[in-house]
Amino acid sequence: MRRTADIDALQDVLCAALGSREPVCSLGHLAQDTAAFATLDPAVVERPTLISGGVPYAPTGPVPAPAALDELLGRAEALGVPQVLVPQVRRSDDTGVLRRAGFVPVAVDPECVFRLAGDVDEALRTRVGADRLAELRRRHAEAAREVRWERVPLRELDGRAGVREAFVALHEDSALYTADALDALARGPLAERTEMLVARRGSAVVQAGLLTRSHNGRGVYCLALATRDDGPGAARDLQEAGLYGVYLDAQRSGLAWVHLGRGDAGRGRGLGADLFVPVDHWLRAPGLAPAEADPGEAVLSAFAAPSVAAVPVPGPARFRRQPRFDVVDLSSNTNPFLGAASHYPELDTAELARTYLSTVARLPGHAGVGALTADHVLFTSGAVDGALLLLSALASPGERVCVTSPTFPLYDHFARVLRLPVVDVPLRGGDLDDLDVERILAAEPRVTLLCDPNNPVGTRLDPARVHALVAAGRGLVVIDEAYVEFSERPSYAGLVARYDNLVVLRTLSKAWGLASARCGIVLARPGVVDALRRVQVPFGFTDASQRAVRDRLTDAPRVLHSVRRVRAEREWMAAALAGHPAVERVFPSETNFLLVRLHKHERVMDRLRDAGILVADTGRVIPDTCRVSIGERRANHSLLAALTAAV
């Protein structure tokens, strides 16, 4: 609730709850934040404090403008109140004015927002999984058989016998939703946009809450929701059932979000929230140490090209951490009359990054990934886009780029387009898996691009050689792990937090089956990620792609099952090809493809084309070879039959 008029209205409600003309109380009176204030000196907690804004009533408020802050401090001095609290300020706001005035941040629970993206059940399924969705639906259905929900406009409370009293009784623990506070809310300007949600079991009110439409008309704030029901877990079940009903009502009303208030992020995720905004109270009190300087963005990596270091993150991407769901957005020059598709894609992908990391951290061979944060993640338009961004942001014309042929050809292509000289240090050995670390280090490249598992060969590099290169190299080492989920050997992703010169590229196009969503992932130090944002086109990661990614990450067991099927089919196909008279050799593979050397390469490739079968002709890179993707059994049989016809 970012509008000043709304915050002022809630402060009037606070004054009514306190029975005072001024919003002055002890911090201990704000029961919701007892744990946050427990770290303070008890004298600070009990001392009278002037409260700015509508702290008990859930929405966050903006940072006061300098003149407003001066007025607030003057007011405290006139009242003889030694402490001032500016509550619930988003960490993404510019808090410099508070720091300079001697305020200290006190971290509290984040605000949690459930964003609707079409159907409620579909949104919940992709965020909490099918089992949790079924549980929420079951609880709502069971509750609907036993209780009756109704919406009472706040202006009509006087005509609803017992509802006002029941609401106050259910909220008695807060000491802030008194009868006087509720009356003040009903008399104020927010009453026109506020309803009371009431659930009755027979004649008894067992649940009561307040729902307020946002001033931009796109969402609803759940200002309060208290439940009292009998039996173990019954109150929790009814609470979740009530919120599920609020989601459904919001969908029917065409709203875009439901603000759940502040709370534990884990519980919010369990309720389907997908936006979590970090929040601080800002306190000025005698004896408190001044706040440290604002750390701001991550320090830009020393690997950033000078031309990139000289420019900021472009345009709207600079404000990606500043939530915009609760503002009236007249900044984007889009057509307001053609629905949700006219809005630009969501830029704040921090929660999706957290989902990706937590999902990948549970996979075999991903030790250390759990130590990474959303600041280590950048979503790109496929892993190939990540490679282009890295070369654009971290190398200047004339600086060398090292590739290790045979390898993915677009590394060399992008480097030459960017006027970066390419040094090729070919892989050695019969399986083309021996990395020549000494020659790479001698070339002193700015960026070395390794494809591991290798495309088009399918083998893995010796990890000891890779570690030696990362540890000894003065340039960046980029490891493209597009196929790593098909390998039984570990990923390098967990090492990103240890080495500032290591970058890992991942994709959801291969094992995760989302090639159409065009989602790549760069895992790197935050300073490297910041450099990439400076050259990345904003809004490239569409809302549709974000929904598809969230959906697939929630369905990880199905993906892992399919990976096991691919591995099994790969082994079957490798054995079948190895014994085929048209095949000279099948290279070992830890991917979802096989590199095959043919006896009569040109003849076989012609016959495969004639049979309507497409494989990748790699003969120009590795003589007499082709790369065969692992398909379903029927497709694989078709390939074998065509090979037989070619002999």
Boundary-marking domain end, from 284, 314, 332: 284
Give the residue from 276, 306, 325 where a domain finishes: 276
Domain boundary among 232, 259, 276: 276
| Measured CA distances, 105 to 26, 62, 67, 525 (Å) | 17, 14, 20, 26
Whether 162 and 34 share a structural domain? no
| Count: domains in the chain | 4
304 inside domain:
no
Is residue 521 domain-resident? yes
pTM of model > 0.75: yes
Domain for residue 306, yes or no? no
Contacts of 191 (CB under 8 A, 6+ apart): 154, 155, 185
Looking at the structure, tell me whether residues 163 and 269 fall in a common domain. yes
Q: Is residue 128 part of a domain?
A: yes
Query: What is the rounded distance in angstroms from the CA atom of residue 424 to the CA atom of residue 426?
Result: 6
Q: Which residues, given as ranges, of the chain have pLDDT below 50?
A: none
Residue 386 included in any domain: yes
The verdict on 614 and 521 lying in the same domain is no
Is the domain of 363 the same as that of 493?
yes
Residues 579, 476: one domain?
no
- Which amino acid is residue 244, in one-letter code? Y
Residues 477 and 428 both lie in one domain: yes
pLDDT at 231: 73
563 and 550 co-located in one domain? no
For residue 575, the domain's CATH number is: 3.90.1150.10
Same domain, 103 and 122: no
Q: Which domain holds residue 89?
A: 4-108+278-284
What are 526's two structure tokens? 């935050």
What is the distance of C-alpha 444 from the center of its chain? 36
Residue 210 belongs to domain with CATH number: 3.40.630.30
Q: 506 and 415, same structural domain?
A: yes
Determine, yes or no, domain membership for 232.
yes
pLDDT of 505: 98
Is 319 a member of any domain?
Answer: no
What does the pLDDT read at residue 1? 66
Predicted local distance difference test score (pLDDT) of residue 291: 63
Q: The domain that contains 356 carries what CATH number? A: 3.40.640.10
Per-residue pLDDT at 370: 93
How far apart are alpha carbons 341 and 336 in whole angstroms?
A: 10
Contact 112, 262 (CB under 8 A): yes
The identity of residue 347, as a single letter, is: L
379 lies in the same domain as 473: yes
Using CA atoms of 264, 223, 37, 275 in order, give the dihedral in degrees to the nearest 10: 40
pLDDT of residue 233: 76
pLDDT computed for residue 640 by the predictor: 95
595 lies in the same domain as 487: no
Q: Is residue 314 part of a domain?
A: no
Q: Which long-range CB contacts under 8 A does 632-640 form with residues at least 24 apart?
A: 632/569, 633/569, 636/569, 636/572, 636/573, 636/576, 638/611, 638/613, 639/608, 639/613, 639/615, 640/576, 640/577, 640/580
Q: Is the distance from CB of 458 to CB of 408 less than 8 angstroms?
A: no
Same domain, 578 and 497: no
